[in-house]
Amino acid sequence: MTDWKKCLKEFCKHNAGEVQRLTYELCAIPAPTGNERRRAQYCLSYLRGHGAQAYLDEAGNVVFPYACDGPEKVLVFAAHMDTVFSEDTPLCVREEGEKAFCPGIGDDTANLAVLLVLAAWFAQNAPRTKQGVVFVCNVCEEGLGNLKGTRALMQQWAERTRMFLSLDCTCEAVFHRAVGSKRYRVTAHTEGGHSFSAFGNTSAIEVISHLVENIYSIQVPRHGQSTTTYNVGLIEGGTSVNAIAQTAACVCEFRSDDEVCMAQMEQTFEKLFAQAREKCLSLDVELLGTRPAGKNVPEDEQARLTAVCVDAVTSAFGQPPRLSSASTDCNIPLSMGIPSACFGCLVGGGAHTLEEWIQPDSLGPGLLAAALTLESLL
Ligand SMILES: [Zn+2]
């Protein structure tokens, strides 16, 4: 073991308090998706205050490349700054028993704090690592942010990125596969008419109902260990009980952790849309959002990264995490064939609710888990 690894472990033992302090301060700074500017300024000042040559990129990410001057490949180590909560959500940390409550405290503020504390340690101690690491506080992970921050980051760093590690969620799971998704709003238009005198005219409700029925008859594709799903989450339309509906619409999606299945589902959806289109005057298909799944990720490298994360979480928390698929910032690098994984540095719950909480006690093991992954990978 090189000396810096010993030093880092020692540092982790004594700095859980700093992670907690930083978490509470960051919690108070609103950071709705697309408006992370103030939180980014705080992160930038924190890093620069510790001697890091950090900068803001065009997308609004805070980026600190450490030992990345050579041509060698690097590790990207990220945590997102944005939360699902609006600007006017009261943000004040409340401690009760073993828990600390605040919207956004676990997703992803405490993980962001862990990342900042580690990045600051690297800036101050300048360890001699075998490869460089790019520390990133990124924007737009949540909601309809469409992973804008990571997309922009990867545009710049993909060529040089060997692996991508994101701190997100809790220590219960290591996410090693990306769930891709595609979401549509489909609106049918027909001539409609009076329910008695124009009986026989096509109803937009009938067209959409048929479409929904057809979606629910899809046999989802399988490819290796993949999981693929679909859902129609909303339908609306029509005018009155005695009117043949002129418009009706549905909002539907499919998801998969496999890019081959994603492509097959897209074809199937397109075919069903085309069938529906033949039955009405016009059919509008609006794409509401898209997230890619993994594609051509080298399996041995992915397995190695996953094992490093699982070992780190297990040894820091004393309990092995489960392996799972999710939709996170890792979707972007995974779609480019870059091994990626994600785990959280805390025990917590209630993510995306006003009752969100963490156990401050878990931040010590969390800091150690993140440090252990860096030790193994760098
Ligand atoms: Zn998150």
Query: Where does a domain end: 241, 263, 291?
Result: 291
Report the C-alpha gap between 168 and 155 in whole angstroms: 21
Query: Where does a domain end: 239, 274, 291?
Result: 291
Q: Are 221 and 131 in a shared domain?
A: no
What angle is formed at CA 222 by the lines to CA 185 and CA 255, rounded to 5 degrees? 25
CATH code for the domain in which residue 10 is found: 3.40.630.10
pLDDT tens-place string over residues 259-304 = 899 999 999 999 999 999 999 999 999 998 888 888 889 999 999 9
DSSP 150-167: HHHHHHHHGGGEEEEEEE
Q: Among residues of the chain, what percentage have pLDDT more than 70?
A: 99
Identify the CA nearest to 171 among candidates 118, 107, 121.
Answer: 107
Identify the CA nearest to 237 among candidates 200, 276, 209, 210.
Answer: 209
Report the C-alpha gap between 311 and 327 in whole angstroms: 22
Gap from CA of 325 to ligand 1 centroid (Å): 14
Identify the CA nearest to 212 among candidates 265, 256, 273.
Answer: 273
CA 261 remoteness from chain centre: 20
Q: Are 287 and 315 in a shared domain?
A: no
Gap from CA of 168 to ligand 1 centroid (Å): 5
Identify the CA nearest to 234 among candidates 280, 187, 277.
Answer: 187
Q: Are 83 and 114 in a shared domain?
A: yes
**pTM, whole model, 2 decimals?**
0.86
Gap from CA of 342 to ligand 1 centroid (Å): 10
Identify the CA nearest to 171 among candidates 372, 377, 78, 309.
Answer: 309
Gap from CA of 212 to ligand 1 centroid (Å): 31
pLDDT above 70 for 228: yes
- List the domain range (segments joined by +) for residue 271: 180-291
Q: Are 161 and 243 in a shared domain?
A: no
Q: Are 233 and 305 in a shared domain?
A: no
Query: Where does a domain end: 248, 266, 291?
Result: 291
pLDDT at 296: 87
pLDDT above 80 for 145: no
Residue 171 one-letter amino acid: C
Query: Are the CB atoms for 104 and 91 separated by under 8 Å?
Result: yes
Q: Are 245 and 148 in a shared domain?
A: no
How large is the average pLDDT for residues 249-254?
Answer: 97
Gap from CA of 37 to ligand 1 centroid (Å): 17
Three-class SS of 286-298? EEEEEECCCCCCC
Average pLDDT along the chain: 96
Gap from CA of 279 to ligand 1 centroid (Å): 42
pLDDT tens-place string over residues 196-221 = 999 999 999 999 999 999 999 999 99
Gap from CA of 341 to ligand 1 centroid (Å): 13
Gap from CA of 109 to ligand 1 centroid (Å): 9
Gap from CA of 334 to ligand 1 centroid (Å): 17
Q: Are 169 and 188 in a shared domain?
A: no
pLDDT above 70 for 1: no
167 CB burial (10 A radius; 0-12, 13-18, 19+): buried
Q: Are 36 and 165 in a shared domain?
A: yes
The 8-class DSSP code of residue 147 comes to T
Q: Are 160 and 127 in a shared domain?
A: yes
CATH code for the domain in which residue 189 is found: 3.30.70.360
| Three-state secondary structure call for residue 349 | strand
Q: Among residues of the chain, what percentage have pLDDT more than 90?
A: 93
Q: Are 120 and 173 in a shared domain?
A: yes
Q: Are 170 and 306 in a shared domain?
A: yes
Gap from CA of 239 to ligand 1 centroid (Å): 40
pLDDT tens-place string over residues 172-184 = 999 999 999 999 9
| Three-state secondary structure call for residue 245 | coil
Query: Are the CB atoms for 144 and 181 separated by under 8 Å?
Result: no
Identify the CA nearest to 10 among candidates 133, 106, 121, 165.
Answer: 121
How large is the average pLDDT for residues 58-74?
Answer: 96
Q: Are 59 and 16 in a shared domain?
A: yes
Tokens 């990720």 belong to 297
Identify the CA nearest to 189 among candidates 286, 251, 280.
Answer: 280
Q: Are strands 74-80 and 161-167 parallel, antiparallel or unpaired?
A: parallel
6 CB burial (10 A radius; 0-12, 13-18, 19+): exposed
Tell me the C-alpha to C-alpha distance, in Å, between residue 375 and each of 30, 130, 285: 32, 10, 48
pLDDT tens-place string over residues 77-134 = 999 999 999 999 999 999 999 999 999 999 999 999 999 999 999 999 999 999 999 9
Using pLDDT thresholds of 50, 70 and 90, give the confidence band for residue 251.
Answer: very high
| Three-state secondary structure call for residue 115 | helix
Number of folded domains that form the chain:
2
In terms of DSSP H, where are the helices of the chain? 3-14, 16-27, 37-49, 110-125, 148-157, 204-215, 259-278, 299-317, 331-335, 363-377
